[in-house]
Structure 1
Amino acid sequence: MFKNVIVRVPSKTISEGLTSAHEGKPVYEKALVQHENYVSALTKAGVNVTVLEPKDEFPDSCFVEDVALCTSKCAIITRPGAETRRKEAELDDMIEALKSFYDNIEYIKAPGTIEAGDIMMVGDHFYIGHSARTNEEGARQMIEILEKYGLSGQVVEMKEMLHLKTGLAYLENNNLLVAGEFKTAPEFEKFNKVPVEMDEAYGANCIWVNDYVLVPAGYPNVQKKIEDLGYKVLVVDTSEYRKIDGGLSCLSLRF
Structure 2
Amino acid sequence: MQTIVSANDLCCKSGKRYLLNKINWEVKKGDHWLIFGVNGSGKTTLLSTIAGFKSATSGQLTVLGKQYDAENIFSLRQKVGWVSSSFFDKYYKSESALHVVLSGLFGTFNIEYDIKDQDVRQAKALMRELRMGEKIHQPFNLMSKGERQNILIARALITRPEILVLDEPGTGLDIYAREHMMNTVRMLAESGHVTIIYVTHYPEEIQSFMNKAMLLRNGRIFAQGDTNDVITSQNISVLMNETVDVKKNGNGTIRMTVQASSDICKLCYREQ
TM-score (norm 2): 0.27
TM-score (norm 1): 0.28
